């Protein structure tokens, strides 16, 4: 219960941060001339992004409807995974909360404005203009993949102490299965 509350708070704080920064960038039409560290600057996108990431499918009303529906489905699926499949996996639940914040942040823009407010220009590294919600979705998904693959005893390829723990549990389960099979073989059969 505590993990669910903390993840909910993380999601709400990240969502608020995303919406506040979008509002700020658009209210003040912030456009920096130079890139910070050579790859990132604030540069609001006039008219917003009517498509999905990096402007794909922009100005296509049918695509916007499909994207909006898929986003709602994704938000529901993330919530379902949070409370079922990853119920006992705290790192995965945190990743899902981060992804959920991004999905809801962009959905709010689509439903309220008809476009997504993009203002973070990262074009020097091969992307275009995006927003914090996009970062949440991207980095949350990457972190979730790492968690699923490597973190915890239920990981696909558990690392460190979890690998040893997983092998011990696997050996214990195999020994119990073997003992049960031997027990059944010793019992007299009533033919």
Coil, helix or strand at residue 155: coil
Cβ–Cβ < 8 Å for 41, 32: yes
91 Cβ partners below 8 Å, 6+ apart? 143, 147, 151, 152
The catalytic residues are: 118, 134
Residue whose entry in the numeric block shows the structure tokens 């696997």: 170
Please give the radius of gyration of the chain, using alpha carbons only, rounded to the nearest integer: 23
Read off the tokens for 12: 């709400």
CA distance 131 to 117: 7
Cβ–Cβ < 8 Å for 119, 43: yes
């Amino acid at each position: 219960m505590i993990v669910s509350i903390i993840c909910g708070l993380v999601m709400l704080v990240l969502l608020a941060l995303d919406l506040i920064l979008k509002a700020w960038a658009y209210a003040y039409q912030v456009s920096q001339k130079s890139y910070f560290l050579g790859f990132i600057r604030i540069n609001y996108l006039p008219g917003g992004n009517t498509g999905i990431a990096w402007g794909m499918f922009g100005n296509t009303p049918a695509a916007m409807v499909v994207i909006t529906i898929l986003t709602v489905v994704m938000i529901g699926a993330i919530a379902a995974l949070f409370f079922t499949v990853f119920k006992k996996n705290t790192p995965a639940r945190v990743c899902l909360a981060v992804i959920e914040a991004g999905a809801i942040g962009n959905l709010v823009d689509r439903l309220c404005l008809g476009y997504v407010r993009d203002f973070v220009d990262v074009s020097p590294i091969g992307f275009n203009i995006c927003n914090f919600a996009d970062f949440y979705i991207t980095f949350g998904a990457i972190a979730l993949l790492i968690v699923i693959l490597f973190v915890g005893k239920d990981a696909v390829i558990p690392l460190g102490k979890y690998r040893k723990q997983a092998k011990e549990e696997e050996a214990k389960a195999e020994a119990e299965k073997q003992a049960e099979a031997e027990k059944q073989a010793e019992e007299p059969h009533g033919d």
